[in-house]
Copies of this chain bind each other. A is one copy, B any other.
Amino acid sequence: MIDKSIIEAGNAARAADLAVDYDTLGERLDRRGIDINAIKDKIAAFGVAIPSWGVGTGGTRFARFPGPGEPRDIFDKLADCGVIQQLTRATPSVSLHIPWDIAPAEDLLSRAEEAGLTFDAMNSNTFQDHEDHPLSYKYGSLSHTDAATRSQAVDHNIECIELGEKIGSKALTIWVGDGSNFPGQSNFTRQFERYLDSARVIYDRLADDWTLLTEHKMYEPAFYSTVVQDWGTNLLIAQQLGEKAKCLVDLGHHAPNVNIEMIVARLNQFGKLGGFHFNDSKYGDDDLDAGSIDPYRLFLVFNELVEAEADPDFDPMHMLDQSHNVTDPIESLMISATEVQRAYAQALLVDRAALGGFQQENDALMATLTLKQAFRTDVEPILAMARQETGGAIDPVAAYREACYRAAVAEERPAVSGAGGGIV
């Protein structure tokens, strides 16, 4: 963890400016009829889960260039996640990935508690072969033509549920890479029937207070077809399985140009919006930092979520899911959590009564300006004040760098070779 004195000293140096900025923003918002403190309280209460694998350096099929002090196991990862939560107060939970993060439940619980963290959704993995699984997922997992392979994949998911139950998780997220690389390789209908049959077995194993989140993705690792290729197929899965099944939306898993905020609205309208994997993308599933490429799109997604908050049962899960190839993963995750909060804060500023009126009148210009007014408000003072008041850092990156955390863990954690695999 970061020494508190570093956080406190950094905050002390920034507190006066922050107070001024917060007050002047408060006055401007007050003119618009908005109570800045109410916004700040909502931000302070808002959290986004960290994916355990996010604290490691990512890579591409061409190469992975590791950084210093890479986490060696789930306990190192929990330590890194603890730092993110300590500084940002925006990331209270961690989402585990099995088998990468397998460990005794009691150890996971105690180390998470030390780091001030709880456990979010469990993630299964049947897009890679496991050393202790006899059958390969090369040609699919839940939808494989071979019943034994499907069964192995189902059992793995149940194993994830069982560990999750012990550590307080309430959801299982399934993403499979199943699909095909050639026209004709797979029979689309038979393949999806097999998927549904497998998913039903997993679904039936879920406790009543659990949620099954299925994730769609247009392509990669399969390059001609993917079983759960879009929200249409994802919706069918959730409909076929039942009430505990909902759809997870990863912002980078869509076709070019697709209106993602509209998909969010549709899924919510029909009770099937389960949660998010936040990240950003320019080309494909780029897994870039949330809000780094198109911050307005992130705002528009949150505009839908705030709209949906009117329903008291609305409670989707929020998780980051990014690949950090050229930055320190801890820094990227801190900034990304902040960007998600920023989009939420901006969306909270939208004058919904005015917006509704403009929509009814087809005053497109004023309607869109109503969104823009909220979006262009610099809410950084709100985010920073929320951090300061909850014990976090006004400037998380500055505090992190000053603490030299990375250099410190690099002394304990051995360097990882950068030599790439021969994958092209």
Query: Which A positions have Cβ atoms within 8 angstroms of B?
Result: 17, 20-21, 24, 27-28, 31, 53, 56, 58-65, 97, 100, 127-131, 136-139, 145, 177, 180-190, 192-193, 218-221, 223-225, 229-233, 235-236, 254-259, 261-263, 265-266, 268-270, 281-284, 286-289, 292-297, 300, 303-304, 307, 323, 325-328, 331-332, 335, 342, 355-356, 358-362, 364-372, 375-378, 380, 397, 418-424
Contacts and interface: CB of A to CB of B under 8 A. Distances in A.
A74 B274 CA distance: 50
Given A60-B423, A185-B362, 10 more contacts: A56-B422, A58-B61, A62-B220, A218-B258, A223-B287, A230-B232, A236-B270, A326-B362, A335-B369, A377-B378
B359 A283 contact: no
Contacts of A364: 180-182, 184-185, 326-327
B219 A368 contact: no
A282 B284 CA distance: 12
Contacts of A230: 230, 232, 258
Contacts of A365: 182, 327-328, 331-332, 335, 397
A185 B262 contact: no
A236 B360 CA distance: 24
Contacts of A421: 59, 64, 421
Most buried by B among A56, A58, A62, A422: A422
B378 A419 contact: no
A128 B297 contact: no
Contacts of A192: 265-266, 269
A298 to B, nearest CB: 10
A102 to B, nearest CB: 13
A193 to B, nearest CB: 8
A265 B127 contact: no
Nearest to A53: B424
B368 A185 contact: yes
What are the 7 tightest A-B residue pairs by CB atom distance, in nearest-first order? A232-B232, A255-B255, A128-B420, A65-B138, A188-B265, A223-B286, A182-B368
Q: Which of A20, A127, A292 has the most CB of B within 10 A?
A: A292
28 contacts: A20-B27, A53-B422, A62-B127, A62-B128, A62-B177, A62-B221, A63-B177, A100-B422, A130-B419, A136-B418, A138-B362, A139-B362, A181-B288, A182-B364, A183-B261, A183-B292, A184-B303, A184-B371, A188-B262, A218-B257, A220-B283, A236-B270, A294-B296, A294-B297, A295-B296, A328-B365, A332-B365, A369-B397
A224 B24 CA distance: 35
Contacts of A355: 184
Given A257-B282, A364-B326, A422-B56, A63 B220 contact: no
A375 B372 CA distance: 13
Nearest to A70: B422
Nearest to A188: B265
Contacts of A97: 424
A17 B326 CA distance: 44
B293 A224 contact: yes
Nearest to A182: B368
A238 to B, nearest CB: 12
Contacts of A335: 365, 369
A35 B243 CA distance: 50
A283 B282 contact: no
B224 A282 contact: yes
Contacts of A368: 182-185, 292
A323 B220 CA distance: 13
A96 B177 CA distance: 31
A333 to B, nearest CB: 11
